[in-house]
A and B are shown apart, each in its own frame.
Chain A
Amino acid sequence: MLETLPTTTKERHFDARTMRGRGVKATDDIWESFERWQLWWLLGLNDIRQRYRRSRLGQTWITLSLLATIAAIGITYSTLFRMNIKEYLPFLTVNLIVWGLIAGLLNDSCMAFIQADGYMRQERIPKAVFILRIIVRNCLIFAHNAVLIPVAMLILGGSISWTLLLAIPGLAWLLLNGALAGLFLGVICARFRDLPQIVNNIVQIAFFISPVMWKRGQLLEQHQGLVDFNPFAAHLIIISDPILGRMPTLGNYLMCLATTLLLAAVALPFFARYRERIVYWL
């Protein structure tokens, strides 16, 4: 598994090889990362710009490709499910955009340090910066895509409800959990290079077993657990339901809370323990 190299302790202000010492360094790392927000902002912004450099349509491709996906799935599945397309399209649009954020956060975090090896081996940069960069990058993509939501609502005659306000804390909560998951995934994927692909596959499967394209009402009573105990579904619902004019259930919020607690309990000590080793794995 993950190796521990032999250590010798020397007296100093604090012993960086105890968990406490490592915890201090990890906390400093995260703190310093927030202080250096301009760095991850610039890096995230640059990630988007770079993708579309020398292309005619530039960043609008993000929105255009989503539009194509919505049209294809929307027309096909509203026919298959025999649903009113005016009702299905806004539902699908919102879900696909939010799912894009969830999937993006998870998949990109796997590569967060691997991709940044050039920077990490040249300067001392607090490691959490690279996770926050992933957050920025995905939020920018989300923002590009979110313009389609009011468009879809308007064209298809949906209405805005006060519940929309709940989407904001929902979004913030997703980003928090995304950052915690990112700390764990980024580190462990730098060490075990099979994991990014495995995470990709898990996210793909999660797409199908979560109510992104289908409504939970379509499930039989005995299968409701697929949504109730599905953390991906919970994070999706706390953002998309408010936008669509519904209140998420308490169960959804509790699932997100449980995720936060579990992630914090696993990811933070893990990050503290292996933070200094990341650069040796690159």
Chain B
Amino acid sequence: MPSIELIDVSVDFPIYTAQTRSIRADLLRRIGGRIQEQQDDRRFVVNALRNINLTLQAGDRLGLIGPNGAGKSTLLRVLSGVYEPPQGTIRIEGRVSSLLDVTLGIDPELNGYDNIILRGVLLGMTVDEAREKTPGIAEFSELGDFLNLPVRTYSSGMMLRLAFAICTAIRPDIVLLDEVVGVGDAEFAEKATARMRQFASDASIVVLASHDTNSLRNFCDKGVLLRGGRIVEMGPIADVLDHYGHTASP
């Protein structure tokens, strides 16, 4: 059974090229994490996530909400294992499939079929597994003959279809999505949502970061509101969205 547990996780990004020394911590600022000046006066650190405590069980569908720079993408990357947090404890059980940026891991010069193999192997499949899954992926993406053309000829929506189809070809235990579904057309959005629902009811955990309140309300059952790297609200999605709506503008 997949599960996610984050205890007191913090992530800092060191900035090595900050020219100016006079960045002051602006506590009233809505956007972004906290910028912190280090002791030796020559380095800056962005506190992207502060003291995150989060527990998710099989079947949870979590929506990540917050202004730009709040830490949503960073949190997703912590969950996928990309950023190992220097502080805190993290326990993740289950196979993770992340769709954080539609175009990453896809080689624009290769055609759709070759990219399926490449992307599949990057995700952890073997070449044989990826080959086996190709017809299913091709069908789900509905890209037809375009799969024989280099991926650089695709629109961003088409790339999303391909990337999404590949990432969900093996039923992952944990699915992470970062604001990607907006790019697909309405019909694809429905297909994608249906597939995600199926995963969730098969006991996967789905975490979705989005600004689209409708799809969040529609699909997620839990919500987390991030601001400045901290979780300021956690609970049923409707409540968190209402809170966000009310506190959005200063």
> Does A139 have its Cβ within 8 Å of any Cβ on chain B?
no
CB-CB < 8 A to A279: which residues of B? 82-84
* 16 interchain pairs, CB-CB under 8 A: A3-B14, A5-B86, A16-B84, A36-B124, A42-B121, A46-B118, A53-B109, A119-B105, A121-B77, A122-B82, A123-B80, A123-B82, A123-B123, A124-B82, A124-B96, A280-B83
What's the nearest-Cβ distance from chain A to residue B57, in Å? 20
Convert A267-282 into 0s and 1s, putting 1 for each residue whose CB lies closer than 8 angstroms to a CB of B: 0000000001001110
Question: Do the beta carbons of B87 and A8 come within 8 Å of each other?
Answer: yes
> How many chain A residues touch the partner (CB < 8 A)?
28
Q: Which listed residue, B105, B109, B127, touches A123 by the CB 8 Å rule?
A: B105
Question: Could you list 4 further interchain pairs (A-B, Cβ under 8 angstroms) beyond the known A10-B88, A121-B77?
Answer: A8-B88, A38-B127, A122-B101, A281-B16
CB–CB A46/B107 < 8 A: yes
Instruction: Please tell me if the beta carbons of A5 and B88 are within 8 angstroms of each other in the complex.
Output: no
Measured CB to CB, the nearest residue on chain B to A53 is B109
CB <8 Å contact, A118 and B105: yes
Which chain B residues border A6 with CB–CB below 8 Å? Answer: 86-87
What does the 1/0 interface line of B80-113 toward A look like (CB < 8 Å)? 1111101111010000101011001101011000
Tell me which residues across on chain A come within 8 A of B124, comparing CB atoms: 36
Min CB gap B138→A, angstroms: 19
Binary interface profile of A, 116-133, with partner B (CB < 8 Å = 1, else 0)? 001111111100000000
SS of B interface (majority): mixed
Which residues of the partner chain A approach B110 to less than 8 Å between Cβ atoms? 46
Q: B82 to nearest A CB, angstroms? A: 6
* A280, B122: Cβ atoms closer than 8 Å: no
CA distance A6 to B47 in the complex (A): 13
Q: Which A residues are in CB contact (< 8 Å) with B86?
A: 5-7, 17, 276
Q: Is the CB of A120 within 8 A of B82?
A: yes
Tell me the interface secondary structure of chain A in the complex: loop
Q: CA of A188 to CA of B109 in the docked complex: distance in angstroms?
A: 30
Verify B107–A42 contact, CB threshold 8 A: no
Cβ–Cβ < 8 Å partners of B7 in chain A? 10
Verify A39–B83 contact, CB threshold 8 A.
no
- Residue on A nearest B125 in the bound complex, by CB: A38
User: Nearest chain B CB to A123's CB is how many angstroms away?
Assistant: 6
In the bound complex, CA of A279 to CA of B100 (Å): 15
Known: A38-B127, A119-B105, A122-B105. A276 touches B98 (CB 8 A): no
**Which of A17, A38, A118 has the most C-beta atoms of chain B within 10 angstroms of its own C-beta?**
A38
Residues of B within 8 A of A204 (CB): none
